[in-house]
Amino acid sequence: MSGEKLRNIGPKSAAWLRQVGLRSRADIEAVGAVEAFMRVKRAGFKPSLNLLYALEGALLDCHWQQVPDERRAELVHAAEAATALLPPPRHRPAASPVTTTMHEEEAAPAFQLFDDPAGDD
C-alpha cells in the first residue's frame, strides 16, 4: 500500500492490491473486501480465501482469524457468486502425458536414424 501498513496485509498481498489499483485503506473501503478480492482474482492472481478474510479484518481493524464465522460465510458466498460470473479461462488445460507402449512381438531393433551404407553386406 502507499506508505500505510494495513493490518493482515503482507507484502505479496499489498503488491497484488497495488497492481489492481487499490493503493490505500480508503480505496479498499470504497469497494469492500469482496470486490477487492475479486479484482485480485480477475487480474490473474491466485488468492486464497485468507486474503478475503484479511481484507475484511483490515477493514474491521481486527486479526483476520477474529472475523466471525457467520461473516466469513457471507464473504465466501459473495465471492463464489462473483466468481461464477467470471468468463471461462482463455487457456486450454495441458494435454495428458504421451506414452508409447511396445509389445514384445513389435519390439524394434536398436534405434537408427539413418541408413548406414557401410553396413550393407
Nearest to 2 by CA among 16, 22, 30: 22
- 39-40-44 Cα angle (round to 5): 110
Q: What tens-digit pLDDT sequence spans the chain (121 residues)?
A: 555 788 999 999 999 999 999 999 999 999 999 999 999 999 999 999 999 999 999 999 999 999 999 999 999 999 999 999 888 767 666 566 666 666 666 555 555 555 555 555 5
Question: What does pTM read for this prediction?
Answer: 0.70
Domains of the chain: 11-84 (1.10.150.20)
- 76-83-18 Cα angle (round to 5): 85
